[in-house]
Chains A and B, each alone.
Chain A
Amino acid sequence: MHDLLETTFRQRLAVVGLLLCAGAIAPAQATHSDQRDTSLQPQIEFAGEAASTLDLGRRGTFGGHGFGTGSRINLSDSGLVFGASQRLYRNEIGSFSFGGITTDESSAGGGRDIFMHQALLDYQRLNLEVFLGRTDTPTSRFIEFPTLRGDDLIEYRTVLNPFSNGETIEEHRYSNVAAVEFNQGLKYFENVHAQHLIDSAGGDTGSGINSVGTSFQFQNVPTLEALQRVVTYGVGFEHRDIQKSAGGNSDVIYGGGVVNLNRSLVNRTDLRLFAARSFGSDVNSLTNLTDTFRSDATSVALSLRNLRTPFGQPGHQLALTLGYRNYEKVKGASSYGAALSYSQNLGDGFDVVAQIVHEHRNGQLVDVFGRKDSTTLQLGFVYNFGSVLNKSVGPRRSPVNLLHKYIPN
């Protein structure tokens, strides 16, 4: 669940760097730059989020048939990122981030309990950002939803990875990315990127790059989001290069936005929408999870959220997220999901949370998932935090920079 004070985990991780790796990278640095000043102290940042819940469902919900298959203690989606950033000579910012995130219990059983989700070098100047490495896929960072975890109802809220075997859900959210992002006034962003989507199922064409795309997005001034009618909107296109034998290439168009229905600093209600349509794949039957990621589909996610944050008082948030996905070439295959999420702020960044998630599947999806309906109740805590040492690099999209002259300090 996102922090009630609107600082999302991802936003906090958007900072960058790793002093701990300095020893490891020092030889390379020395090779490439004789000018390195050892007295220069980069800005060191670290951020983390821990989500721990007790999940309860009907027997078999979490796999298997025995006692205990209807409950679990879920530590997934907890992560830590270290980063370093510094000003460069010509008013640019250079940075690095490195971090890992816990996977869900089924993946952990396979020895994949930590997923490296950030290992990124980033270059920024006023009108341009270039980043290269492991990070959020450009599609998953498009619109964030107020569910407890970032992968709840994921099939409706982002563009799925057609190369994933479905064992590690993080493969839909993170990839190896090379991106260039232009902006106008730090409000309008055009992103052109290439990705190596993690290929756990097989099916790419063998090159490092198996997906290319572009997107346009508008983002309003940070910190004024509660008072603006339109917070963000955008559209994008993605092309995935898939072997003919695996269904062939697949394209996706997607778009979404967030609008405030009730603009308020203390009682805000917003509506967010994400829709995606994939086409071009020849997959017309669903026999495993990978098929469900590849086959042409239309998905829509919509979320209504009320955030109450009275001044000087702990806040709370209630959100209803709905999703629908229909497979265009598989007759009768569709699913919908709903999540009712609540969080109560106990302290800065520390929430007690509750969520009930229901999913219903039709047609061949029932065989793939082994059940038609599933309902899960989750109770727990979420804690996110961040800290900055050697502070010397301010946020590029600060209110003062956006509302007055841009100064890279």
Chain B
Amino acid sequence: MNTDSKIGRRQLLRLGGLGIGTGLLGRAFGQHPPSQQPLDTPAVPWKANFDPKGTTPAYPPRDKPKKGETIHEFEIEVTIGTHEIVPGVETHMFLFNNSYPGPEIRVNEGDWVQVNLKNSSPEFHTIHWHGIALANEMDGVPLGTQWPVGPKQEFRYLWRAQPAGTHFYHCHVMTTLHQQAGLVGSLIIEPKEDVVRKAFPYHREYTMLLSELDTNFVRDMMNEMVTMSVQMEAMNHSANLMREMNGRMMGWFASKETLVKAVKNGYVPPYLSARTGTAMPITPNYFMINGKSYPMTEPLMIRHGENIRVRLIGGGMMPHFIHLHGHDFWHVCQDGAPLASPVRMNTIAVSPGTTSDIIIQGTNPGNWHFHTHSDLATTNNGQHPGGMMTMLMYEDAKEYGVTFPEIIAISS
């Protein structure tokens, strides 16, 4: 999808064309002829096979860069900003580089990646590299593999890009809020040998990061988090107040035993009904593709006879069932890895935390709906149509006699 990635200048300098948004790749295809390869015959046989040792990292995760090896450097800053989902609906969010989703990171398999995370928000953050086989200390789990990155602090992540495929990254601090509130982005690792491209030659590809937002939950929780963070910031500037800053304030305990002991001594944990009453369910009211809900989602463009690759990322908390009208497509990769054999389908389930790559073949010119079949998610604040819907649009549809114009419809 046409992500306007706002990545650090150094990244642009070092990555050349690889780090830019996929939308640019998609548009570039218009200048090239579509593949002449018949769509029903793979260009080369599907080469992915079952390998019981396939999950072993190709590069030792705890290796360090050697002299002469290139390190791709990215600058990512977290701020509190605003994001417009559809016209008239603006909400406060945490943002990576002032963008939701965050900038797409795209590197080659085996490349070194250095991400300099700068926290310019009042809350704690980390980045978890979802699906990447890296050194434990780089995994971005607060209090699990690192201390969370506080306001005005920076943290440097360094890891080697593996395994290849479609992945994503997200903040792992209070994930329920932070990922939903904007801290998520796509992470594409180009394989040294792309079996998908060989079997289904393509020039254009699209990334669709699927997510949901409960604007009321995010608003309330961001207010709570910001309150605590600003309080802590104020405490940082006072020796007197700083004495009160302790793990209990944050809900941090050194061990299970310390928690058990604290509860025995009168500590009232926040999950008790005495402090929460009935648990308030999270009820998303906006459903997005790359941060936008229909009709503001970007269409996928294709031409007759063309293959396009679509990378679907379950970047939210709900499963979605993505259905394409008028076509079957090939499910070729799951969680980055090529399947042992492509699977033909017209609706694919994308669960939270998973990625699925599909190949759509331009076999039926027209303008076709491409949307989740979870009907709740095709609404904007309960109003249909909306949400997680877009279109597969043939640029050459007219040549095949399809003249129906694109109509933008919203609930009246």
Contact = CB atoms under 8 A, between A and B. Distances in A.
A400 B220 CA distance: 10
16 contacts: A227-B231, A227-B235, A263-B238, A265-B235, A267-B244, A310-B248, A313-B267, A348-B277, A392-B216, A394-B219, A403-B226, A404-B82, A405-B81, A407-B92, A409-B90, A409-B219
Interface in A358-409: 391-392, 394-395, 398-400, 403-405, 407, 409
B226 A312 contact: no
B216 A394 contact: yes
B94 to A, nearest CB: 11
Contacts of A391: 216, 220
Contact of B268 (A227, A314, A392): A314
A264 B215 contact: no
Nearest to A224: B230
A409 B266 contact: no
Contacts of A311: 246, 248-249
Contacts of B220: 391, 394
Interface of A: prevailing SS: loop
A223 interface: yes
Given A265-B241, A409-B89, 19 more contacts: A224-B227, A226-B231, A263-B241, A264-B244, A265-B231, A311-B248, A347-B274, A394-B223, A395-B223, A398-B219, A398-B223, A399-B230, A400-B92, A403-B226, A404-B81, A405-B92, A407-B90, A409-B90, A409-B219
B60 interface: no
Contacts of A226: 231
A259 B250 CA distance: 27
Interface in A215-229: 223-224, 226-227
A22 interface: no
Interface in B55-111: 80-82, 89-92
A312 B261 CA distance: 13
B222 interface: yes
Contacts of A201: none
A227 B234 CA distance: 7
A126 to B, nearest CB: 14
Contact of A312 (B216, B230, B235, B262): B262
Interface of B: 80-82, 89-92, 122, 215-216, 219-220, 222-223, 226-227, 230-231, 234-235, 238, 240-241, 244, 246, 248-249, 251, 262, 266-270, 274-275, 277
Q: Which 5 residue pairs are nearest across A and B when measured between Cβ atoms?
A: A223-B227, A227-B234, A312-B267, A311-B248, A391-B216
B230 A403 contact: yes
B268 A400 contact: no
A399 B224 CA distance: 8
Contacts of A399: 223, 226-227, 230
A328 B241 CA distance: 45
A407 B218 CA distance: 13
B30 to A, nearest CB: 38
A113 B235 CA distance: 47
A400 B91 contact: no
Contacts of A73: none
Nearest to B277: A348
A275 B241 CA distance: 31
Contacts of A21: none
Given A403-B230, A409-B90, A227 B223 contact: no
A400 B80 contact: yes
Interface of A: 223-224, 226-227, 263-267, 310-314, 347-348, 391-392, 394-395, 398-400, 403-405, 407, 409
Contacts of B90: 407, 409
A226 B227 CA distance: 11
B42 to A, nearest CB: 50
A315 to B, nearest CB: 11
A264 B241 contact: yes
A313 B82 contact: no
A223 B89 CA distance: 26
Given A227-B234, A407-B90, A407-B91, A266 B244 contact: yes
Nearest to A346: B274
Contacts of A392: 216
Nearest to A313: B266
A312 B91 contact: no
Given A264-B241, A313-B266, A394-B220, A348 B274 contact: yes
A37 to B, nearest CB: 11
Contacts of A223: 223, 227, 231
A400 B248 contact: no
A236 to B, nearest CB: 29
B80 A404 contact: yes
A162 to B, nearest CB: 41
Contacts of A347: 274
Nearest to B223: A398
Contacts of B270: 312
A409 B91 contact: yes
B219 A400 contact: yes
A398 to B, nearest CB: 5
Contacts of B277: 348
Nearest to B246: A311
A42 to B, nearest CB: 14
A263 to B, nearest CB: 7
Nearest to A314: B268
A213 B248 CA distance: 47
A400 B219 CA distance: 8
Contacts of A312: 248, 251, 262, 267-270
Contacts of B244: 264-267
Nearest to A347: B274
Contacts of A409: 89-91, 215, 219
Contacts of B223: 223, 394-395, 398-400
